[in-house]
């Protein structure tokens, strides 16, 4: 069985599983460019929740391998043609490259998951990949159809577990009782067999859970578009969402002289709203100090009825504690994705 360490070290083993690009969407939605085939370096970094420089460094070290799996760098006329065909209609949603553009295929992105050591998302992809690979290898050639009696019990790992627990371990117990000279060796072997039995049981549990939860995410592509926005575009995006949820008098104030808030509005039932908008990289959370600064602006200067802190990332536990104490509504990355997809924000509904 392939293990994670071997996958990180062996180019040959990585190549043997690169067809399983579907695991990327099982772990987290991979948004594609309008050509429905590629992603940019920034989008790869967003997917794995690392800095863009980390992906660029990886590209430098493993360029030949990545190019063999679909990485392309466009320049000159080829870049211009790609921009005209794919990016020109989406100027507000995608960054417009200047001199060059790296395009990553799904195979190349999966390749990155098998090279990135310090990304939680990459680890999840590797775990899912290895589990599904094991499941494929473990199934008998003549696999019963789904729904037939004992179909799941025909998995090889379950049968091995049964044999180990009901036959091999009792055999070792009997040998240990009657052996003198090789007693310690037999005990050690029995412990190894029992450890393998436990690992197989745990593996089966993980595979069952993966099969139970598999399926596409509901909001594919939304956050990739938001991540490509600059800070001003993001503020106007939040303003659009406020208007969609029935707010009136929506005004964007971001920039110098904004008095600590970016957008002001009134809900449909007349309550005043102030919003702070932070377009941060997903790996950079909002800290408590930034919440404290917003408190002074929203509750003291503006005496707002509804204080919204909208961010493209997460909030630290201290920041969440402050928000809960003083009644600030936090819209983190997951809530922003749902809000942008059309789910109304509860804080803006009738009190």
- CATH 3.50.50.60 for domain 229-348: no
Higher-confidence position of 240 and 190: 240
Q: What b/e string do you get for 258-269 counting C-beta neighbours within 10 Å, with b at 16 or more?
A: eebbbbbbbbee
DSSP 8-state symbol, 250: E
**d(Cα 337, Cα 343) in Å, to the nearest integer?**
9
Number of helices (H), then strands (E), belonging to the chain: the values are: 17, 7
**d(Cα 269, Cα 291) in Å, to the nearest integer?**
26
Phi-psi map region of 214: left, alpha, beta (phi>0 left; psi -120 to 50 alpha): beta
DSSP letters, 190-247, are: HHHHHHHHHHHHHHHHHHHHHHHH-S--SSTTHHHHHHTS-HHHHHHHHHHHHHHTT-
Token couple for 126? 């590797």
**d(Cα 307, Cα 329) in Å, to the nearest integer?**
6
**d(Cα 204, Cα 188) in Å, to the nearest integer?**
25
Residue 249's SS3 state is strand
Domain boundaries, the chain: 4-121, 138-213, 229-348
pLDDT of residue 23: 80
Q: What is the pTM of this model?
A: 0.43
Question: What does the pLDDT look like over 67-113, one tens digit per residue?
Answer: 998 899 888 888 887 777 766 554 555 556 668 888 999 899 999 99
Question: What does the pLDDT look like over 213-225, one tens digit per residue?
Answer: 555 555 556 787 7
Whether pLDDT at 291 is above 70: yes
């Amino acid at each position: 069985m392939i293990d994670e360490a071997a996958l990180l070290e062996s180019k040959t083993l990585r190549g043997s599983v690169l067809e399983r690009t579907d695991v990327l969407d099982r772990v987290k939605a991979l948004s594609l460019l309008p050509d429905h085939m590629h992603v940019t370096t920034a989008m790869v970094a967003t997917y794995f929740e690392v800095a863009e420089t980390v992906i660029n460094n990886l590209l430098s070290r493993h360029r030949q391998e990545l190019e063999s799996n679909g990485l392309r760098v466009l320049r000159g006329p080829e870049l211009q043609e790609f921009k005209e065909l794919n990016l020109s209609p989406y100027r507000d949603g995608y960054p417009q490259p200047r001199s060059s553009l790296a395009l990553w295929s799904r195979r190349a992105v999966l390749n990155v998951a098998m090279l990135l050591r310090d990304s939680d998302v990459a680890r999840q992809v590797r775990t899912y990949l290895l589990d599904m690979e094991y499941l494929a290898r473990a199934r008998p050639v003549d696999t019963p159809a789904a729904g037939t009696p004992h179909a799941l019990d025909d998995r090889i790992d379950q049968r091995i577990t049964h044999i180990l627990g009901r036959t091999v371990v009792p055999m070792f117990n009997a040998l240990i009782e009657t052996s003198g000279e090789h007693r310690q060796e037999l005990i050690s072997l029995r412990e190894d067999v029992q450890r393998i039995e436990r690992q197989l049981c745990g593996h089966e549990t993980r595979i069952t859970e993966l099969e139970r939860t598999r399926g596409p995410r509901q909001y594919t592509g939304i956050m990739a578009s938001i991540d490509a926005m600059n800070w001003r575009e993001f503020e106007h995006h939040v303003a659009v969402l406020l208007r969609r949820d029935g707010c009136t008098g929506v005004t964007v104030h971001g920039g110098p002289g904004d008095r600590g808030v970016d957008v002001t509005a009134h809900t449909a039932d007349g309550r005043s709203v102030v919003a702070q908008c932070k377009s941060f990289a997903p790996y950079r959370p909002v800290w408590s100090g930034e919440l404290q600064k917003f408190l002074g602006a929203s509750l003291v200067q503006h005496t707002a009825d509804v204080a919204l802190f909208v961010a493209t990332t997460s909030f630290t536990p201290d920041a969440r504690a402050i928000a809960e104490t003083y009644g600030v509504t936090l819209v983190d990355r997951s809530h922003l994705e749902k809000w942008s997809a059309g789910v109304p924000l509860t804080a803006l509904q009738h009190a």
